[in-house]
Amino acid sequence: MKKIILSLISASFLFAGGAIGVSIKVKGDVVLVSKEESQPQKLIPGKPLHDRDVIRTGEGGFAASMYLDDRTIIKITENTEYVIGGTRTPDGIDKSVAMNYGTLHASVAKQEGKEFLISTPTSVASVKGTDFTVISDPEFGDSFLIFTGVVEVTNSVTGEVSEVNEGETAVSTPDGELDVEETVVEDIPVIEEEETEEGTEESEEPEEFETHIMNFELQNENGDIKEVRIEYR
């Protein structure tokens, strides 16, 4: 499990610009489709993300993004597209991720009264705080692999609901089936791990607690720039 530290000043700076999240790592072919831009733009680390922004990866692409209120992390592998969503509340951000296709991994902080919903063409999942992966194909359906916590999965065709616990996988299909079974290790997809960037500082802690630090600039809608530091273990 990674420990994320984001400067509160930088978070407030981004919130002031209307952002709900920030891009923290990009590799390969990744584009951002924003309502503020008429054409897709190459996604870069440090890019503020807003409600309804679309992130899309091509062959060999990888992207990791973080919500600003509680450091919830979303990672996607190659050939994946999702829409990041969020509505601000007094408690933080109610999150809604619309996954169109591909493979997505989420490390969701405890929501403490907030909402986190992830939807696909076939299913809707309600998350309170957990670590899970979704593999979605509009033709064949979805697999929800739960590593920690509990996720409630609903098949959108029939309305059938199942609670999926740690070590279980829910398979939801376009013909209305929803089955829960024990996760098969061989079925777990490989999700890109953050590598040590050039110039990244590292601690002398044991390898299992190795600390990495990422530094980059953030720019808000007014063109103001600040430097942000993200530390994870």
- CA 151 to chain CA centroid, Å, is 15
Q: Give dist(CA 186, CA 189) in Å, integer.
A: 8
The predicted pLDDT at position 166 comes to: 95
Q: Give dist(CA 210, CA 225) in Å, integer.
A: 29
Q: What is the CATH number of the domain that holds 55?
A: 2.60.120.1440
Q: Please, what are the averages of pLDDT over each run of 10 residues along the chain (233 residues)?
A: 44 60 94 87 92 96 92 95 93 92 94 89 93 96 96 97 96 97 92 51 46 54 59 53
Which residue is associated with the tokens 């999150």?
Answer: 95
The predicted pLDDT at position 112 comes to: 82
Whether residue 16 is contained in a domain is answered as no
Burial class (CB in 10 A: 0-12, 13-18, 19+), 174: middle
Q: Give dist(CA 137, CA 176) in Å, integer.
A: 14
The predicted pLDDT at position 196 comes to: 39
Which residue is associated with the tokens 């209305």?
Answer: 176
Whether residue 195 is contained in a domain is answered as no
Whether residue 70 is contained in a domain is answered as yes
The predicted pLDDT at position 92 comes to: 86
Whether residue 208 is contained in a domain is answered as no
Whether residue 120 is contained in a domain is answered as yes
64: containing domain: 25-189
pTM for the model stands at 0.78
Whether residue 158 is contained in a domain is answered as yes
Across the chain, where does the E strand assignment appear?
5-6, 21-27, 30-33, 41-42, 48-49, 53-57, 62-67, 73-76, 81-89, 92-107, 116-119, 123-127, 131-137, 141-148, 150-155, 161-165, 168-172, 178-182, 212-219, 225-232
Which of 161, 123, 127 minimizes the C-alpha distance to 146?
A: 127
Whether residue 71 is contained in a domain is answered as yes
Whether residue 199 is contained in a domain is answered as no
Q: For the chain, give the number of residues.
A: 233
In the chain, the number of structural domains is: 1
